[in-house]
A and B are shown apart, each in its own frame.
Chain A
Amino acid sequence: MTARSISGAPRVPSPRVVTGLIALALCGLSVFGLAAVAHADQRGKDLIACLDKKANLAKDQYFVYDMVIHEPGRETRTMVMNVWVQAAMRLVHFVAPGDVKGTKVLIRARDEMYVWLPAFSKIRRITSHAKKQSLFGADYNYDDQSTVRYGDVFDPQYLGEEKGLHKVRVKATSRSDSPYGSIDLFLRKDDCLPVKLFYYNEQGKHLKTETRDEYSCLKVACTARVMKMVDHTRNNHWTKMVRKEWKVNTGVSARKFSRRALQRSF
């Protein structure tokens, strides 16, 4: 309804009023926008918190994986490894093939990693700069294996829905020391478990794509049976991890994740 003056003639708003109204509208819009962004961030945080919680419900887990490394133009290589996980700690024990048999990688924290080489009877520390490097030419690097809680390392931002999945972007923080600039996670709506992850560098270039398929649940834990990491910079060089065996809450001792244990058989 148009505002009218006392005389009945239409009241023409002064320029100052118009400017004020526009400014008010812009403020309103920006506040709304900021609120939306804040809401998105909160939504992202919630989803990542949900993911981290889901991924860490079990007290410990034990896996046997076949790790298949496919390099275009070369022979595909398969390794077998046993993996123990307890909280943020992880012990990877390679059991085949012969040349890597007995090699163990112990991750006690994101910045504390060791490798045991049986042929040398030695423990070697893995320095932080090597986190971007991979073991035995795989596409999973040390950092991929050491990240168990995204919320501790990245700042999340909700990007909306895509193909029936939540899309959350997590950005590396200054404290994260991550080799990636950001990761786009596509989470299932019902249980926040990721089915696809896009890895980007700091310039936003898409480096790798990870897919996690065939989720199944055992006791309180749900994990993918098949995980595949494709490195696009290396002409789609890929590594696939296929779960062959899985146990949850085995009661493994925390001592298994010690340096002493690395050099012993328990």
Chain B
Amino acid sequence: MRRLARLMTHRTVAWVTVVFVLLVAGGSTWLAMRVAQDDDLLAFLPADDPDVKHFHELARRFGGLDVALVGIDAGRERSVFTQDFLGRLKRATEELADTRGLDGVVSLDNVTDFIADREKGGIITGPLVGKVPPDAAGLAALREKVLSRDHVVGTFVSRDGRATLLYCFLAHGSNPRRVASAIAQVVDKHFPQNPRYWGGNPFISAYIFDTTQQDMRRLTPWAVLAMVIVMMIAFRDLLGTCLALLSTSFGIVIAIGLMRLCGEPINLVLSSMPVILFAVGSAYGIHILAHYYVRVRQREQALPGEDDGQRRAAAISETLCATGPTVLAAGLTTVVSLLSFLAMDLRPMRVFGLFTGIGVLVTLILSLTFIPAVARLVKLRGRVEGGAGAAVDRVLVPLVDAMQKWRVAAGVVLVVVALGAGVAVLRVENRIDATNLFGPGSPPDRADRFMARYFGGSQFLQVHVKADLDDPLVLRELTYLGDRLRFFPHVSSVVDIGSVISRANEAMEGQRRIPDTRAKVKMLAAFVSGEVAVKQLVAAQRRQALVQVKLGTSDAAQLEKLLADIERWVGNDRLRSYQRVSVGDRGAGLAARSRQRAMVAARLRAALASEGVVLGDARHAALVRGLEQPAPSLDRRPIEAQLRRFLRSQECAAPLPKTLADGSDPAPKLAAALVALGTPPARVARQPRQGGGAGDELTPWEKKVRAVIVQTLATPGQPTNAELVDDLLLSVQTPLAELTDGEAARQHTLALLRRAGVTLPPGGVGVRGRAAVAAALLDLRVPQVLMPRGAGGARQATTVGPEATPAAAATPTAAAASLTLLPRVNGLPTIHRALSRSALHNQLFSLATALIPVILIMVVLFRSLTAGLLVATPTLVTLLLIYGGMGLLGVRLDIGTAMLACIILGAGVDYGVHLVACWRDPGGDRREAARVAVRATGTAIWTNALTVAIGFFVLTMGDARPLQNVGGLTAIAMLAAALATFWTIPVLARKAAYGRAVQGGAAASAAGAPAPASNPSRDLTVPSEEDALPRPTSARGSE
């Protein structure tokens, strides 16, 4: 330090220093303005955590993070089923569909529906809403129709018809903030008067990022202004304050410029760097200047005729020698504390720690070089008269005296408080959830409440499954998984690829169920593959799937328990490994039949629940018993009517003549004759056939059908139209079989519900409910099921022949008769859990990493282990108090509070350094040493504590929840650290002086003490005798 002091007294060196610093600062400013901005909030997830890795993998595969949800409340209209609202929804949906960055949008306006076309035949796949009816009756009918669709209610429209939800799927690589903004613009344009709610990752991350950025932009100037005012009141030195702030600003721009050089973008946490640096770093310059003013004043009084330049040079030299080590040590503790962030498992936090540490280091270096250089070149004249010092002394000196007088009592109180705080620390929860990121009333919170109220919640869990998803049996197993998950507490709905394939199959076969053959599943999967929502359910060439579980709670404790329950359940070995078993009446077959009935029962219960019909246990048990009873005999008349309609539809490829030779309509006659043939053979025999109709290739059943067609169309005296017969043979077989199966299931449903005493509500809900039950009952005809390995005699399972197993016949790999489901739970709750683990890990590791070097620096500075520990003790007490307070107040650990310990350690330990550095009485009186130290440092320490506290407190006035937490807690912590310093050290100090290295001139510089000239004795007592005597010869400059 003496060498540096000698160097800085040279005028040339001072010029070079100033010019060099200005050039570097200018260059850094240029670089800093070009630093990239990283708005990826996912970077704040611990990358090595297994849950996070899984989350990222799923996000990449399924794009789960790319869904923006827009909720719209009908507002005054109270219903979305008005011409005006639906018209606006249509326009908004169309505009969103054409919005750049969006892969697609699904809303009430364009969600598809399947309805039977009675005129042209088949099933029409069309928009559920379609053309908006102009009159009230039409709108009422539309409302009833929409609200009868279980896959629409609670997903696109609320059960009361008051609110609607739009799903906007972002295209791969889109900027979520930009697209979120574009979506908001469109929706705002079309629904300016309606309450609107923005949910999903793009909106939430945009909100968090924008709010934090806005807060930092808005509050940083105020925080800096508040700090300047406090400094001005304390030191009454505008120039010095500005110079200190300037050197801190240089520290900031140089750190950010370095980031640009390293190619490191500025992240969300780094945006708080200016406030932290201004709060922490500006003190160093103030310390140097305050001491410099004292020295100048002393020399003016002692040597009135001294040359001005020589006086400044000497004052600088003395200041650096006396204050330098203390300022350096105080700064290094802060740097080390910030560098301890490198022990964290979050990259953005490591970057923050590294570059903020560099910023503090640069500020520290500038305080010891640039500020003295400016002082050497420019005549700075700060006021050394005490400001608020006298008042502070009047309070602090008696307090310290009292601590010394009643050391034991004060010590006991300290221990009790520390122990109490220590106990309270154990109550600190490290549970992170959304409330850590946004507060009540914020847009994401409002959206969360809106979703919970109208759409069953906004939180999702995903069960990740790896399996052959082209296999109908696997899809049924997936649906079974979902049907049971549906009845976990707080689960509001479950969606999986099986349900999507079922819906698509409704358009093909008229039944909402998983088709029976692999070929059908593959074809339906290919058809729905272009739909944006499907991409979130299946990936990796249909070898991986997600079961999306919507949760009706956002409460962290409930989510945690539910997550654990589901993980335990899904992790059950019985769910992991399956084998294919034929249904039968003995041994493994009987067990398979039992499992099949259980699956159908679960399906019935879930299907009815999604229609709003919740079965009690008794009713459900009655339904299960009913499944064991045989189906009623089939009334075929309805089949005849339906087949007649098909024969006249456009989907019947064979043009049936309008009349027969006798003038009658051939359709009823043919339909009756075909139905009279009886039930078509089991689905196993119905492999798709294409091509001609040569008689010798026909199965016995086909021969019968062909004969009926020939007989019906026969015209006496005319040859049979063979081509028409073949076309009809090809056309009618599938519809005849499907209609027969469907009608049988329908009649079975009515009987089953009647036997179980289940009454469905009238109208659409009842119709859909019965259709869902009928579709489920068709699964009882499937000849195979998957059995968990080792369950119910599954070891006896055999590979079954194609006659009994159409699925197996269509599945070459089925011969292996074994497959595996690998379910794993993922979703936001697992991410919260990973973040909680990370917060605790980071808290402990960074604190340990910082604490040891800080104590080492203290030991080196004071050349005493005791002194080092003494200096660190107030900070440790502060940490206990703050974390104990968090435990008592229910403030939870999160990423922000994980930063807190290091900031408190870095900034708070300074107070102990300065107090102990001035702790000295030549007479060996401990009490006098305490008084000397308090008079020398009290004002400065409290000024600094107030400055930092006010600077951070301003951050609590923003909207960003993390900033509020960090700002408020740091503000309190700084005041607590100051108080702990003046309580702990007087109680624990056992000597009248500590540390040879810093004793002496350091005292006057302590924490920027202005060392008021109004009390000359204080001026003379603070510096060491050696340093206090002006020695012009030692400060010989180069002027």
Residues of chain A at the chain B interface (Cβ within 8 Å): 71-75, 98-100, 102-103, 117-125, 127, 129-130, 133-138, 201, 203, 205, 207, 232-235, 237, 258-260, 262-265
Contact of B520 among A74, A100, A119, A137 (CB under 8 A): A119
Cβ of A122 to closest chain B Cβ, rounded Å:
6
Residues in B with CB closer than 8 Å to A127 are: 124-126
Residues in B with CB closer than 8 Å to A118 are: 519, 523, 688, 690
The answer to whether B734 and A122 touch across the interface, beta carbons within 8 angstroms, is yes
Contact of A125 among B508, B529, B651, B733 (CB under 8 A): B651
Contact of B653 among A102, A136, A260 (CB under 8 A): A260
Contact of A120 among B124, B520, B650 (CB under 8 A): B520
Interface stretch (choices B159-167, B169-177, B797-805, B829-837): B169-177
Q: A123-B651, A135-B530, A233-B100 are in contact. List 6 more A-B contacts (CB 8 A).
A: A129-B127, A136-B526, A201-B94, A234-B102, A235-B172, A264-B692
How far does the alpha carbon of A89 sit from the alpha carbon of B517 in the complex, in Å? 32
The answer to whether A121 and B530 touch across the interface, beta carbons within 8 angstroms, is no
B507 contacts the other chain (CB 8 A): yes
Residues in A with CB closer than 8 Å to B530 are: 133-138
B712 contacts the other chain (CB 8 A): no
Binary flags per residue of B641-653, CB closer than 8 Å to A gives 1, else 0:
0000000001101
Binary flags per residue of B996-1009, CB closer than 8 Å to A gives 1, else 0:
00000000000000
Residues in A with CB closer than 8 Å to B612 are: none
Assuming the contacts A129-B130, A237-B171, asked whether A124 and B519 have C-beta atoms less than 8 A apart, the reply is no
B215 contacts the other chain (CB 8 A): no
B509 contacts the other chain (CB 8 A): yes
List the 3 closest A-B pairs by CB distance, nearest first: A73-B172, A137-B530, A235-B171
How far does the alpha carbon of A129 sit from the alpha carbon of B112 in the complex, in Å? 10
The answer to whether A125 and B734 touch across the interface, beta carbons within 8 angstroms, is no
The answer to whether B527 and A263 touch across the interface, beta carbons within 8 angstroms, is no
Q: Using a Cβ–Cβ cut-off of 8 Å, how many residues does chain B contribute to the interface with A?
A: 57
The answer to whether B98 and A121 touch across the interface, beta carbons within 8 angstroms, is no
Residues in A with CB closer than 8 Å to B102 are: 233-234
Assuming the contacts A120-B734, A127-B124, A130-B125, asked whether A72 and B98 have C-beta atoms less than 8 A apart, the reply is no
Binary flags per residue of B505-517, CB closer than 8 Å to A gives 1, else 0:
0011100000101
Within B54-113, the residues touching A (CB, 8 Å) are 60, 63, 94-95, 97-104
How far does the alpha carbon of A205 sit from the alpha carbon of B101 in the complex, in Å? 13
The answer to whether B651 and A122 touch across the interface, beta carbons within 8 angstroms, is yes
How far does the alpha carbon of A103 sit from the alpha carbon of B727 in the complex, in Å? 18
The answer to whether A120 and B688 touch across the interface, beta carbons within 8 angstroms, is yes
Residues of chain B at the chain A interface (Cβ within 8 Å): 60, 63, 94-95, 97-104, 117, 120, 122-127, 130, 171-174, 470, 507-509, 515, 517, 519-520, 522-523, 525-527, 529-530, 541, 650-651, 653-655, 688-692, 726-727, 730-731, 733-734
How far does the alpha carbon of A163 sit from the alpha carbon of B515 in the complex, in Å? 54
Assuming the contacts A124-B508, A133-B530, asked whether A233 and B97 have C-beta atoms less than 8 A apart, the reply is yes
Q: List 13 A-B contacts (CB under 8 A).
A: A117-B523, A119-B523, A120-B508, A120-B509, A120-B515, A121-B733, A124-B122, A135-B527, A137-B530, A138-B530, A233-B100, A235-B101, A263-B690
The answer to whether A129 and B122 touch across the interface, beta carbons within 8 angstroms, is no
The answer to whether A263 and B731 touch across the interface, beta carbons within 8 angstroms, is yes
Cβ of B815 to closest chain A Cβ, rounded Å:
18
Contact of B171 among A234, A264, A265 (CB under 8 A): A234
Cβ of A105 to closest chain B Cβ, rounded Å:
12
Cβ of B995 to closest chain A Cβ, rounded Å:
61
Residues in A with CB closer than 8 Å to B525 are: 99
The answer to whether A235 and B690 touch across the interface, beta carbons within 8 angstroms, is no
How far does the alpha carbon of A121 sit from the alpha carbon of B122 in the complex, in Å? 13
The answer to whether B691 and A265 touch across the interface, beta carbons within 8 angstroms, is yes
Assuming the contacts A136-B530, A138-B530, asked whether A205 and B98 have C-beta atoms less than 8 A apart, the reply is yes
Candidate in B100, B507, B517, B525 with the most chain A CB atoms within 10 angstroms:
B100
The answer to whether B126 and A119 touch across the interface, beta carbons within 8 angstroms, is no
List the B residue with the shortest CB-CB distance to A134.
B530
The answer to whether B527 and A136 touch across the interface, beta carbons within 8 angstroms, is yes
The answer to whether A263 and B126 touch across the interface, beta carbons within 8 angstroms, is no
Residues in B with CB closer than 8 Å to A99 are: 470, 522-523, 525-526
Residues in A with CB closer than 8 Å to B654 are: 260
List the B residue with the shortest CB-CB distance to A259.
B653
Assuming the contacts A73-B172, A125-B120, asked whether A233 and B99 have C-beta atoms less than 8 A apart, the reply is yes
How far does the alpha carbon of A209 sit from the alpha carbon of B541 in the complex, in Å? 28
Candidate in A102, A129, A134, A138 with the most chain B CB atoms within 10 angstroms:
A129
Residues in B with CB closer than 8 Å to A98 are: 522
List the A residue with the shortest CB-CB distance to B727.
A260
How far does the alpha carbon of A136 sit from the alpha carbon of B531 in the complex, in Å? 9
How far does the alpha carbon of A74 sit from the alpha carbon of B534 in the complex, in Å? 14
Residues in B with CB closer than 8 Å to A100 are: 523, 526
List the A residue with the shortest CB-CB distance to B174.
A235
Cβ of B138 to closest chain A Cβ, rounded Å:
18
List the A residue with the shortest CB-CB distance to B66.
A73
Cβ of B646 to closest chain A Cβ, rounded Å:
11
Residues in A with CB closer than 8 Å to B174 are: 235
Cβ of A8 to closest chain B Cβ, rounded Å:
68
How far does the alpha carbon of A122 sit from the alpha carbon of B508 in the complex, in Å? 8
Residues in B with CB closer than 8 Å to A75 are: 541
The answer to whether A121 and B730 touch across the interface, beta carbons within 8 angstroms, is yes
List the B residue with the shortest CB-CB distance to A94.
B526
How far does the alpha carbon of A74 sit from the alpha carbon of B532 in the complex, in Å? 13
Contact of A121 among B120, B126, B470, B690 (CB under 8 A): B690
How far does the alpha carbon of A35 sit from the alpha carbon of B99 in the complex, in Å? 37
How far does the alpha carbon of A234 sit from the alpha carbon of B653 in the complex, in Å? 38
The answer to whether B122 and A137 touch across the interface, beta carbons within 8 angstroms, is no
How far does the alpha carbon of A75 sit from the alpha carbon of B171 in the complex, in Å? 14
Assuming the contacts A75-B541, A233-B99, A265-B690, asked whether A121 and B523 have C-beta atoms less than 8 A apart, the reply is no
Cβ of B726 to closest chain A Cβ, rounded Å:
8
Contact of A259 among B98, B103, B515, B650 (CB under 8 A): B650
How far does the alpha carbon of A80 sit from the alpha carbon of B198 in the complex, in Å? 42
Cβ of A92 to closest chain B Cβ, rounded Å:
14
Cβ of B645 to closest chain A Cβ, rounded Å:
15
How far does the alpha carbon of A215 sit from the alpha carbon of B564 in the complex, in Å? 62
How far does the alpha carbon of A122 sit from the alpha carbon of B893 in the complex, in Å? 60
Candidate in A102, A121, A207, A265 with the most chain B CB atoms within 10 angstroms:
A121
Residues in B with CB closer than 8 Å to A73 are: 60, 63, 172-173
Residues in A with CB closer than 8 Å to B730 are: 121, 263-264
List the A residue with the shortest CB-CB distance to B810.
A119
The answer to whether A235 and B519 touch across the interface, beta carbons within 8 angstroms, is no
How far does the alpha carbon of A118 sit from the alpha carbon of B689 in the complex, in Å? 8
The answer to whether A120 and B172 touch across the interface, beta carbons within 8 angstroms, is no
Cβ of A96 to closest chain B Cβ, rounded Å:
12
Residues in B with CB closer than 8 Å to A72 are: 171-173
Residues in A with CB closer than 8 Å to B651 are: 122-125
The answer to whether B172 and A71 touch across the interface, beta carbons within 8 angstroms, is yes
How far does the alpha carbon of A258 sit from the alpha carbon of B655 in the complex, in Å? 11
The answer to whether A117 and B691 touch across the interface, beta carbons within 8 angstroms, is no
How far does the alpha carbon of A233 sit from the alpha carbon of B183 in the complex, in Å? 13
How far does the alpha carbon of A233 sit from the alpha carbon of B105 in the complex, in Å? 11
Residues in A with CB closer than 8 Å to B731 are: 263
The answer to whether A201 and B692 touch across the interface, beta carbons within 8 angstroms, is no
Candidate in B63, B101, B654, B688 with the most chain A CB atoms within 10 angstroms:
B688
How far does the alpha carbon of A207 sit from the alpha carbon of B173 in the complex, in Å? 18
How far does the alpha carbon of A135 sit from the alpha carbon of B124 in the complex, in Å? 17
Cβ of B697 to closest chain A Cβ, rounded Å:
12
Residues in B with CB closer than 8 Å to A205 are: 98
The answer to whether B508 and A74 touch across the interface, beta carbons within 8 angstroms, is no
List the A residue with the shortest CB-CB distance to B123.
A124
Residues in A with CB closer than 8 Å to B98 are: 201, 203, 205, 207, 233
Cβ of A141 to closest chain B Cβ, rounded Å:
10
How far does the alpha carbon of A127 sit from the alpha carbon of B115 in the complex, in Å? 12
Assuming the contacts A129-B130, A233-B100, asked whether A264 and B519 have C-beta atoms less than 8 A apart, the reply is no
How far does the alpha carbon of A21 sit from the alpha carbon of B526 in the complex, in Å? 70
Cβ of B814 to closest chain A Cβ, rounded Å:
16
Contact of B529 among A103, A119, A137, A203 (CB under 8 A): A137
